[in-house]
Chains A and B, each alone.
Chain A
Amino acid sequence: MSQLELRDIRKTYPGAHDETLKGINIDVASGEFLTLVGPSGCGKSTLMSSIAGLEAITGGSMVVNGVDISAMEPRDRDIAMVFQSYALYPTKSVRENIAFGLKIRGMPKDDIEREVERVADLLQISPLLDKKPARLSGGQQQRVAMGRALARRPKIYLFDEPLSNLDAKLRVEMRTEIKKLHQRLKTTVVYVTHDQIEAMTLADRIAVLKDGELQQLGTPKEVYDTPENLFVAGFIGSPSMSFIELEIERSEAGLSVTVEGSDGRKLSLPVPDYLANWVGKRVILGIRPEHISQPDNIKSEHSLVASGSLTVEVTEPTGPDIIAVIRLNGIDVHCRLDAEHPVNWGEDAELMFDMNKVVFFDPATEKRIRPN
């Protein structure tokens, strides 16, 4: 049974012309970690606030464990939230911050004490319990904010971009920490972020939002490999997918497309058969960096591979591999090259295209063309 069901959630802010949320439907299973991801202004924070009860929705319903909570006050929903700014009470010590919600709910003193200790142990913040938030580092504050949520043992945890105020290294550490914690506690989590890596690494399932509409809901792998549309394809993955608009051709060998390098060299690439209906029509080819690499790195037993020599415009070594930029049809295209075989910019490199995994989009609807 789903822990949280969102049914056609709609929200229009007073005085606004457009709907901020245009009918969102999501089910979150018990113990599931769901991330809401999307560019700023996509409505993900509004959706989160609506779940928490901080914003009243204008349509639809929210059900938790079979109970409709749409009209409930926040405190009656039994939902905890970790804020981007942590929102720690500045005049209260860490201990009081964690205990506040319990006290309000009338938990006996001893139980509170025990609960605070438990949470503090869990998050390794026991030595900080008597400090004021202002004396803590960003990472410590973050832990306290989580501790405050954990202490309540709510049905659902909401995280509103909790890591975005931390520096890069700490962010990765905390990410792992959160993941560990979730694996231990098996709590139901809805996690908002604009960082797709965070979304991918943490989530059981990802919900991609744009302009108040759910673009795709699926596991990280689904979203990455089979994005529903151009937006999701471009949003998920780093460096992001490159898009080239071109025409499907039919030759003796089968279906193919032709790309042109920066020096005018042409290269024919085979494409899957399900595009047969699209021969002579224009499609958008979506190709991820790892689909173009040195021939060694691509398993050539796949049928749909092709290689050619192309000029490398820019190289960006990341350590394990090198991101190289080539130009196809006048568009910058990223390739992921093996760091063991360095290439220099301005030189030609022999590159292999793995056309098994590339995706195609209908230029008119921007939807992915599905194999049927």
Chain B
Amino acid sequence: MTDVVRRGVRPSRIAIYGVLLLACLVYLIPLIIMLITSFKTPMDIRSSNLLALPTDWTTIGWTKAWAEACTGVQCEGVKGFFWNSFKMAVPAVLISTLLGAFNGYVLSKWKFRGADLMFGMLLFGCFVPFQVVLLPMAQTLGMLGMANTTPGLVLVHVTYGVAFTTLFFRNYYVAIPDALIKAARLDGAGFFTIFFRILLPMSTPIIMVSLIWQFTQIWNDFLFGVVFSSGESQPITVALNNLVNTSTGVKEYNVDMAAAMIAALPTLVVYIVAGKYFIRGLTAGSEKG
């Protein structure tokens, strides 16, 4: 690189780094505030400003949130609800991903009359506000005998998650050449053989996307969790809500923040560890789709 160019580039590079780092700060501040607050004492929170470091560091917020805070008549923290959330999220994520994969496969490689219409209607399904469906869904689940059971809740999450998973898989599979399917058909492979032996092994990136997206959505969901779970199998978001919200009680913000962090931990870990697969997979579909 010549001197002329270097002189021309330097200030703009500084500006770029400046903007990027400033953005980092903006994105990080809320997390920092949550962390700092979770280590403060309630008195400290009342008197000091948000970004001030705690005067005495204390983990009481965390231990309380984990094992002592009340979420109803039980005062055993949120730890028990963690497991509940997994019990709900894991099957819901897996089923909706599998269904989405099948749908995407059919809608891209086995198009039938009305396939496009079905896809369009699925897409529109992404935009239905969930508040609308609470009552009819409750009635339906009641009729099915699945009201306030974990299978019922899983069904709800699958219903409202399958639109997105289908979208992901369909866009991904559209980019895979049809010739591959034709070759497999001539090789004698049937519908399922092609799917499980040919397409699925190629789908790792988009499976990651679907898993991460669905896990985040379902883990973070409150509305369905609170309405369709039964009392003792409530997911962690409901526990968090019960812990944080108080109609006429005292607020302990350090406990609230620690509980919020605990509740967010699985999704945060997923994003930090698997975030790059997520992005890779999402674009793998959209780029060519």
Smallest CB separation, A72 vs chain B (Å) = 12
* B179-A83 in contact (CB<8A): yes
Interface residue A52 (Cβ < 8 Å from any Cβ of B)? yes
Smallest CB separation, B198 vs chain A (Å) = 6
* A75-B198 in contact (CB<8A): no
Smallest CB separation, B24 vs chain A (Å) = 36
From B182, B188, B202, contact of A101 by CB (8 A): B188
Compute how far the CA of A60 lies from the CA of B194 in the bound complex, rounded to whole angstroms: 29
From A52, A86, A91, contact of B186 by CB (8 A): A52
Interface residue A100 (Cβ < 8 Å from any Cβ of B)? yes
* A83-B182 in contact (CB<8A): yes
Chain A contacts with B in 43-73, Cβ cutoff 8 A? 49, 52-54, 73
Chain B residue contacts of A49, Cβ below 8 A: 182
1/0 per position for A151-191, CB-CB distance to B under 8 A? 01000000000000000000000000000000000000000
* B198-A54 in contact (CB<8A): no
Number of A interface residues in the complex (CB < 8 A): 27
Measured CB to CB, the nearest residue on chain A to B193 is A104
Measured CB to CB, the nearest residue on chain A to B203 is A91
* A105-B177 in contact (CB<8A): no
* B113-A14 in contact (CB<8A): yes
Measured CB to CB, the nearest residue on chain B to A160 is B179
Interface residue B184 (Cβ < 8 Å from any Cβ of A)? yes
Interface residue A11 (Cβ < 8 Å from any Cβ of B)? no
Interface residue B32 (Cβ < 8 Å from any Cβ of A)? no
Compute how far the CA of A14 lies from the CA of B179 in the bound complex, rounded to whole angstroms: 20
Compute how far the CA of A53 lies from the CA of B201 in the bound complex, rounded to whole angstroms: 26
Compute how far the CA of A86 lies from the CA of B180 in the bound complex, rounded to whole angstroms: 8
Chain B contacts with A in 177-208, Cβ cutoff 8 A? 177, 179-180, 182-190, 193, 197-198, 201-202
* A87-B183 in contact (CB<8A): yes
Measured CB to CB, the nearest residue on chain B to A14 is B113
* B190-A75 in contact (CB<8A): yes
From B180, B189, B197, contact of A75 by CB (8 A): B189
Compute how far the CA of A49 lies from the CA of B202 in the bound complex, rounded to whole angstroms: 25
**Taking A87-B177, A89-B198 as contacts, is the C-beta distance between A74 and B185 under 8 angstroms?**
yes
* B186-A75 in contact (CB<8A): yes
Chain A residue contacts of B187, Cβ below 8 A: 75, 100-101, 104, 148, 152
* A91-B201 in contact (CB<8A): yes
Measured CB to CB, the nearest residue on chain A to B187 is A101
Chain A contacts with B in 119-169, Cβ cutoff 8 A? 148, 152
Chain B residue contacts of A74, Cβ below 8 A: 182, 185-186
1/0 per position for B120-162, CB-CB distance to A under 8 A? 0000000000000000000000000000000000000000000
Chain A residue contacts of B193, Cβ below 8 A: 104
Chain A residue contacts of B180, Cβ below 8 A: 87, 89
* A87-B189 in contact (CB<8A): no
Chain B residue contacts of A152, Cβ below 8 A: 187
* A84-B179 in contact (CB<8A): yes
* B188-A104 in contact (CB<8A): yes
* A91-B202 in contact (CB<8A): yes
Compute how far the CA of A88 lies from the CA of B193 in the bound complex, rounded to whole angstroms: 16
Chain B residue contacts of A324, Cβ below 8 A: none
Compute how far the CA of A203 lies from the CA of B187 in the bound complex, rounded to whole angstroms: 25
Interface residue A90 (Cβ < 8 Å from any Cβ of B)? yes
* A75-B182 in contact (CB<8A): no
Chain B residue contacts of A232, Cβ below 8 A: none
* B201-A101 in contact (CB<8A): no
* A105-B186 in contact (CB<8A): no
Interface residue A355 (Cβ < 8 Å from any Cβ of B)? no
Top 7 A-B residue pairs of the complex, sorted by shortest distance between their CB atoms: A101-B187, A75-B188, A87-B179, A91-B201, A87-B183, A83-B179, A104-B188
> Which residues of B are at the interface with A, using a C-beta cutoff of 8 A?
113, 177, 179-180, 182-190, 193, 197-198, 201-202
> Which residues of A are at the interface with B, using a C-beta cutoff of 8 A?
14, 49, 52-54, 73-75, 79-81, 83-92, 100-101, 104-105, 148, 152
* A-B CB contact pairs (8 Å), 16 listed: A53-B185, A53-B186, A74-B182, A79-B186, A80-B186, A81-B183, A81-B186, A84-B179, A86-B179, A87-B180, A89-B180, A89-B198, A91-B202, A92-B201, A101-B189, A104-B188
